Amino acid sequence: MDNYKYKITHVGIHTVEALEPEKEELEKIGAEQVVFPTLTTENDMIESTRGSDGMIIMESDVTRAVMEASPECKVILRTGVGVDTIDIDSATDLGIAVINVPDVWIREVANHALALILACNRRLFLLDSKIRLGEWPRTIPSPVGSLHGEILGIIGFGQIGRELALRVKPLGLKILVSDPYVSDDILECYGVEKVALDDLLENSDYVSLHTPLTEETRYIINEKALKKMKPNSYVINTARGPVVDNEALAKALSENWIAGAGIDVFEQEPPKDNPLIKLDNIILTSHAAYYSDPALKALAIRCGQEVARVLTGNIPLHLVNKDVLAKLKLK
């Protein structure tokens, strides 16, 4: 750390070049950027991040032991929305600010969810596979809805859910929303109808998930929920993997309880021995809903700026554990 005031460890990368804007922001406050690929064990995290003043984490778990190996650490930034990989209570106890970045790729994720909805509606996964097998189907295998006049159910009406609603409205879908925390004013503004979760499941042609992963939302789509859905309906998940019980979804797809699914996130990533991979009535993507070249650059800049804010005594834009302010004096 010669000539550097702080050590910032970044764990999980796309390319080193993509992190250059982050490095430039950190160097403005005299911080060194140390980069590691995604680390999968606690011991690797401890040894790689030891002595950090701050951490920027893509998807690795940050436990209390990892934090205690860096007693000078003041900030941990998660490069996305979900913070379920970070021990928030321990961070607060140790005086470490936890930050997320919920607003950089809102549009990208909403676009990806819409793409999965359209792919399911047109059953592109089946047409693609049939052509690759030498077939030339002139019709689309049923069920095929009209899209206009159908119903989209959105579970979780935060920023991404709202962006998705804006995109599907012109396509003529009715939108149902299940979210106990959203106000009536917002629902009215977006022209959507708030219903109970069971009503949403029973009436929707497409069920799109946009919730964080909490104890409340874990397995919100389970076997019981899937049995409530219509046989011509689809599950779309661009949120967090464990909000959908993958085993239950595989069973529902295999036994034709529902028509199909579009899945970007999995319970375990990369998926290993996941039954969803073997099915032909599902379209799968690799936790890539967030991605665009402009968003990746914007994220790198934001990560550097947010960590710098904390290390220079300022409150970041998106502080997750606000109780930490009792120990970490920020202005």
> Residues with Cβ < 8 Å from 93, sequence gap 6 or more?
none
Gap between the Cα atoms of 158 and 229, Å rounded: 23
Catalytic annotation on 240? Answer: yes
d(CA 193, CA 195): 6
* Residue 156 CA from chain centroid, whole number: 12
Q: Can 112 be counted among the known catalytic residues? A: no
Structure tokens at 312: 């220079």
- Of the candidates 162, 240, 302, 309, the residue annotated as catalytic is 240
**Is 287 considered catalytic here?**
yes
Catalytic position from the list 112, 162, 287, 302? 287
Q: Single out the catalytic residue among 68, 188, 216, 269.
A: 269
**Peptide bond preceding 242 in cis form (omega within 30 of 0):** no
Report DSSP letters for 44-103, one per residue. Answer: HHHHHHTT-SEEEESS--B-HHHHHT-TT--EEEESSS--TTB-HHHHHHTT-EEE---S
Residue with tokens 């959507």: 192
By annotation, the residues acting in catalysis are 240, 269, 287
